[in-house]
C-alpha cells in the first residue's frame, strides 16, 4: 500500500526565515503526482504546490518550492521569507489509484 | 462557480441520532471523497466515488453510508451517531486524473454528545 510520511509533527520559525517541511512517500506507480496542501486556522484546505513525478524540474510557486528527490522518494516543501500568514497545518499527499492519501501533517508556527 | 459546498458547517448530535452531511459540487468532477480529520491523525478516507452510481469504502467506513445518485451530490450518512464520530468532516472532488489534486469543501465540525 502507498504511504505518505511526515516526520515533523510541529515546527516553529521566526518570521522572514526559511523553513523546510519533510515528506517521504512510497508508491508503485511509474507516473504520479505529489501535492502540498495548507490548512490555516480557517480550516480550509488549500493546494499550495503540485509536482509531476516525470518532470525533473522542481515546482515553484512564489515563496513556495519543493525539493523532489525521486530515487529517495522524498518531497520536501521549502517556504522562503516566511510570513505570519504561513502559520498552518501542511499536508503532503499523493494519488493512490482512485483516491488521494495524505500524511498526518506538520503544524507550522511562524513567530513574530 | 461555488466549487464544493458542504452543509451544515457545525452540528451537535446526541448519541444514537442519525443525520446526513451534504456535499455538492458544480465543477462536473467525476471523483468525490469524504474524509474525517482528527488531531494527530491527518485526513482519513471514509468513502469515495469515481462517478454516479459507484462508491467504495476507504480506510474508516464503519458507521457511515454514502450514495452517488448524481454527479453533483455525494451525501454522507451517519446511521447511529457515536462520540467516536466527533470530528471535522471534509468533502472533496476532482477530475478523473487526480493530477490536479482535490478541491475541498470548507468542512463540517460534528460533535456527538
Residue B58, preceding peptide bond in cis (omega within 30° of 0) = no
DSSP letter assigned to residue A85: G
Q: What is the mean pLDDT of residues A74-100?
A: 95
The reply to whether residue B99 touches residue A102, judged by beta carbons under 8 angstroms, is: no
**Residue B111 pLDDT > 90, yes or no?**
yes
**Cα separation, B19 vs B80, whole angstroms:** 8
Q: Looking at chain B from residue 41 to 70, which residues have their Cβ under 8 Å from any Cβ of chain A? A: 41-43, 45, 48, 50, 56, 58
The label of the residue with cell 522542481 reads A58
**Residue B43 pLDDT > 90, yes or no?**
yes
Instruction: Give the model's pLDDT for residue A1.
Output: 62
How many angstroms separate the first and last alpha carbons of chain B? 36
Mean pLDDT for all residues in chain B: 95
Instruction: Give the model's pLDDT for residue A60.
Output: 95
Q: Does A101 touch chain B (CB under 8 A)?
A: yes
**Residue B41 pLDDT > 90, yes or no?**
no
The reply to whether residue B48 touches residue A52, judged by beta carbons under 8 angstroms, is: no
Instruction: Give the model's pLDDT for residue B1.
Output: 61
Mutate to test the interface with B, among A6, A45, A52, A89 (most CBs of B within 10 A): A45
Residue A110 pLDDT level (bands cut at 50, 70, 90): very high
> What is the SS3 assignment for chain B?
CCCEEEECCEEEECCCCCEEEEEEECCCCCEEEEEEEECCCEEEEEEEEEECCEEEECCCCCCEEECCCCCCECCEEECCCCHHHCEEEEEEEECCCCCCCCEECCCEEEEEC
- Higher pLDDT: A84 or A99? It is A84
Question: Helix, strand or coil for residue A99?
Answer: strand
Instruction: Give the model's pLDDT for residue B20.
Output: 98
DSSP letter assigned to residue A86: G
Instruction: Give the model's pLDDT for residue B46.
Output: 97
**Cα separation, A109 vs A87, whole angstroms:** 5
Mutate to test the interface with A, among B3, B27, B43 (most CBs of A within 10 A): B43
**Residue B2 pLDDT > 80, yes or no?**
no
Instruction: Give the model's pLDDT for residue B108.
Output: 97
pLDDT tens digits along A22-72: 999 998 887 899 999 999 999 999 999 999 999 889 999 999 999 999 999
C-beta of residue B53 within 8 angstroms of C-beta of residue B2 = no
Instruction: Give the model's pLDDT for residue A30.
Output: 79
Residue A5 pLDDT level (bands cut at 50, 70, 90): very high
- Higher pLDDT: B104 or A56? It is B104
Instruction: Give the model's pLDDT for residue B39.
Output: 83
**Residue B88 pLDDT > 80, yes or no?**
yes
Amino acid at each position: 500500500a502507498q504511504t505518505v510520511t511526515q516526520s515533523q509533527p510541529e515546527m516553529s520559525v521566526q518570521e522572514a526565515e526559511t523553513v523546510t517541511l519533510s515528506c517521504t512517500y512510497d508508491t508503485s506507480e511509474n507516473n504520479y503526482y505529489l501535492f502540498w496542501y495548507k490548512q490555516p486556522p480557517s480550516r480550509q484546505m488549500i493546494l499550495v504546490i503540485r509536482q509531476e513525478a516525470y518532470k525533473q524540474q522542481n515546482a515553484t510557486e512564489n515563496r513556495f518550492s519543493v525539493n523532489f528527490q525521486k530515487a529517495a522518494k522524498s518531497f520536501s516543501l521549502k517556504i522562503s521569507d516566511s510570513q505570519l500568514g504561513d502559520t498552518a497545518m501542511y499536508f503532503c499527499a499523493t494519488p493512490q489509484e482512485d483516491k488521494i492519501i495524505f500524511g498526518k501533517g506538520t503544524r507550522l508556527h511562524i513567530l513574530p | 462557480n461555488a466549487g464544493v459546498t458542504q452543509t451544515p458547517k457545525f452540528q451537535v448530535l446526541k448519541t444514537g441520532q442519525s443525520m446526513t452531511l451534504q456535499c455538492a459540487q458544480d465543477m462536473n468532477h467525476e471523483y468525490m471523497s469524504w474524509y474525517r480529520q482528527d488531531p494527530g491523525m491527518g485526513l482519513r478516507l471514509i468513502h469515495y466515488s469515481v462517478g454516479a452510481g459507484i462508491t467504495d469504502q476507504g480506510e474508516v467506513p464503519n458507521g457511515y453510508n454514502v450514495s452517488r445518485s448524481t454527479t453533483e451530490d455525494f451525501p454522507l450518512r451517519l446511521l447511529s451517531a457515536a462520540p467516536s464520530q466527533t470530528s471535522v468532516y471534509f468533502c472533496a472532488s476532482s477530475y478523473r486524473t487526480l493530477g490536479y489534486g482535490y478541491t475541498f469543501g470548507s468542512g463540517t465540525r460534528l460533535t456527538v454528545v
